[in-house]
A and B are shown apart, each in its own frame.
Chain A
Amino acid sequence: MATATLIKAGSGASDFEQFGATDTIPAANLPARATISPSQITSNQNDYSPTGWADADVVRMDFDANGRAITGFAAWTNGGIKRIVNISGNYGYIPAGSASSSAANRVSGVCDHIIAPYGVIDLVCDTTSNLIRVVYNSFNPLAPFFRGIFHSVCPGATLGGDWGIVGFGISGGNNGDVNPTSTLPGTWEINTSTSATGAASLYLPKGANTPIRFGTAHLVSITYVYFAVLSDGTNTYTFTHGITASNSGTSNTATNSAIIRYTHGTNSGKFEGVCIGTGTANVDLGITVAANTPYVLAVCVDKARSEVRFYIDGSLSGVLTSQIPAAVACGDRTLINKTVGTTSRGACVAYKTFFAVL
């Protein structure tokens, strides 16, 4: 690249002059923004690159009603911001870090970027990191128009009767609040109490506790959690968080679940992604759990029930495509179950979020 000065007509009949420092090109002579309108998206798209993509400034996207993914976009080199406009009344989504697209075409993010009906997303191609970043997303489940379900709670009362949206499951376990420290947030605690088989849970929502079906909507469940004391051979517990058909129950092996699991004796004490359908599928999420360290755990299930993605601290840590839950009603749950020992162990939960997009 080299900078060259433009030429304009000079004061004489055939004189030329270089553009001066204060000369500007008329706006009409600048190129208009390039807009493209690709064909309707009727299947998941990898390395998305419709005709005209490379130089498009505005991309008018049309999604069908099936909740389609764009797992990545062909990288572009003009440095421009691309504005994705969803012209349809249906949502789409961009799963952050999806391995279905080439590494340089993947999108950064903490879980799934929902492209809201009639919404807008702005993208930048970061050629230093070799990935695509979302600069702006109009999706907001708290906005007046939201076709879906959204629940989010932070710790407070420990009596079920005080809450309208969060439920407490207890079977030999208990719950309480844990004060913040100089480094850790204040939380609820779900604990095993002194029972060798104690269990306790927090689930969303209370009442209509399984408000949506797998396969009806795009589902996301997130929690912010830490463990004061890890599981060990003397006091052994299993922690699970995610989406399950049995969220008011306290079994951590319930059929039709998509969850993140931790216990010391499985997967070398690392978080594990688990799907329980007619059988069980597992994926190592690669993060060894440490005591008194908060983690953001997210589980995403697409409408097509084609895959479950597991995010830890805003990074895609694993994907499962088998043993996906059946099309049954489900809700969100965070659960601890004791199997050995009578000293109470707990999971400290700073927030829970569960939403479904239809």
Chain B
Amino acid sequence: MAEAKPLKAGSTGFEQFLSTDTIPATALPARSTISPSQITSDQDNYSPTGWADADVVRLDFDTGGRAITGFAAWTNGRPKVLLNISGNYGYIPAEHPDSTAANRAIGTSDHIMQPYSGIVIEYDDTSDRVRVVSNMFNAAVLGFGNLRGHYYYVSAASATAGDWGDFAFNQSGTGAALGTAASTATQAGGWQLSAGTTTTGACAIFFAKNLLNPAFFGSAHLIVSFYIRIPTLSDGTQTFTTSVGLVPTPSSAALNVNNSVVVKYSSGLNSGKFLAVSRDNAGAETTADTGITVAADTGYVVTVCIDKARSEARYYIDGVFVARITANIPASAATGQRAVIVKSAGTTSRTLVVASLMFNSIF
């Protein structure tokens, strides 16, 4: 590229534009708007006719909860406004492997495209990724930021059951209990889930109290997230497993539950790395290595997403895509959200600390 000054008519002939001359705005190209056909299936490397130079893209989603896993990279350096003109949601799953790497969107999990609203995206040709600049969706503001769905969120506070309307907990075994963990110089305070002093103790926290299961797998797009740390790691003497994710009837402290999508940790599991798990209606599991070796007393944000079509579960840790599972997905069954620690060897209590948890459904 090289800068070149255009010519203008001067008093004695043609002159180069001066530094104070500007081209009339009306001589600049109008913004280009395109209206692609309705999106009725997931889209990879999305590139409808006119995409490369489109400034405004009017998207129309059907009721299936469709994904756009990536967008054909564009080179004009301009942002694109994506308008959802429909009354249905769509979503952009961050770093989805079904699109070419350079066409994927950066993000900490799924970018929901709320009905009748907009998302602005830009292409970052340094990172070779699409970036979401703004998004009207706001999961926490039910009714206008998030038209149809649920949003449960809580940061650690009271460990008294009667203080809560939506948050709840359960434990089994001597000494197992929910308490609170103090903040440290580097880590947030949280609820402390203690597995107690038996070899099989367990403690769970969950959404939603009484209702237990706010949604069905397959009825809505589901996202859950946890901010956790494990003060002392599991080992051969004091062995425990943590599991966080979507679980039917989350008031149970049983570790393995049919129709669940979770992230597990234990010393003897996946070499001590977080393990993504999807377990179907019959108890068959598919697992995926997240590649994240768990360190003691280190905070992790663990996020699990499953689409309405139940075609895949995706797993993000600390805002980075780490795994996808497409087999042994849960059946169309009710689900809630749970974090649990379950002991399997040793009688010294071990703990899971949860600073916050969030459940979001989008219908």
Contact = CB atoms under 8 A, between A and B. Distances in A.
Contacts of B26: 78
B283 interface: no
B31 A80 contact: yes
A313 B7 contact: no
A224 interface: yes
Interface string B139-177: 011111101111110000000001111111000000000
A152 B140 contact: yes
A335 B224 CA distance: 31
Contacts of B136: 134-137
Contact of A133 (B24, B83, B164): B83
Given A9-B7, A79-B31, A180-B213, A29 B150 contact: no
B5 A26 contact: yes
B84 to A, nearest CB: 9
Nearest to B6: A6
B185 interface: no
A34 interface: yes
A127 B33 contact: yes
Given A25-B23, A314-B87, A353-B143, A153 B361 contact: no
A133 B17 CA distance: 37
Contact of A154 (B22, B58, B214): B214
Interface string B201-226: 00000011111111110111000000
Contacts of A28: 19-20, 22
Given A136-B134, A154-B208, A161-B162, A141 B141 contact: yes
A24 to B, nearest CB: 5
Contact of B4 (A25, A55, A165, A353): A25
B148 A224 contact: yes
B259 to A, nearest CB: 13
Range of interface residues on chain B?
A: 35 or more
Contact of B165 (A30, A153, A294): A153
A227 to B, nearest CB: 16
Contacts of B30: 1, 77-79
Interface stretch (A108-116, A253-261, A279-287): A108-116
Contacts of A77: 30
B197 interface: no
Contacts of B322: none
A107 to B, nearest CB: 10
A129 to B, nearest CB: 6
Contacts of B165: 153, 156-157, 162-166
Given A26-B19, A29-B17, A80-B31, A353 B7 contact: no
Interface residues of A, number: 81
Given A153-B166, A166-B165, A177-B211, A79 B219 contact: no
Contacts of A122: 118, 120, 134
Contacts of B5: 8-9, 25-26, 29
A80 B31 CA distance: 6
Interface in B64-81: 81
A346 to B, nearest CB: 14
B133 to A, nearest CB: 8
Contact of A24 (B4, B20, B134, B144): B4
B120 A152 contact: no
B311 interface: no
Contacts of B140: 142, 152
B134 A135 contact: yes
6 contacts: A81-B81, A110-B116, A142-B140, A164-B165, A185-B148, A350-B149
Ranked nearest first, the 3 interchain pairs of A and B with the lowest CB-CB distance are A222-B143, A79-B31, A156-B166
Interface of A: 1, 3, 6-9, 16, 19-20, 22-26, 28-32, 34, 55, 77-81, 108-112, 122, 124, 126-129, 133-137, 140-142, 152-158, 161-166, 177, 179-188, 220, 222-224, 294, 296, 298, 313-314, 350-351, 353
Given A128-B58, A142-B138, 4 more contacts: A20-B4, A109-B116, A162-B163, A180-B213
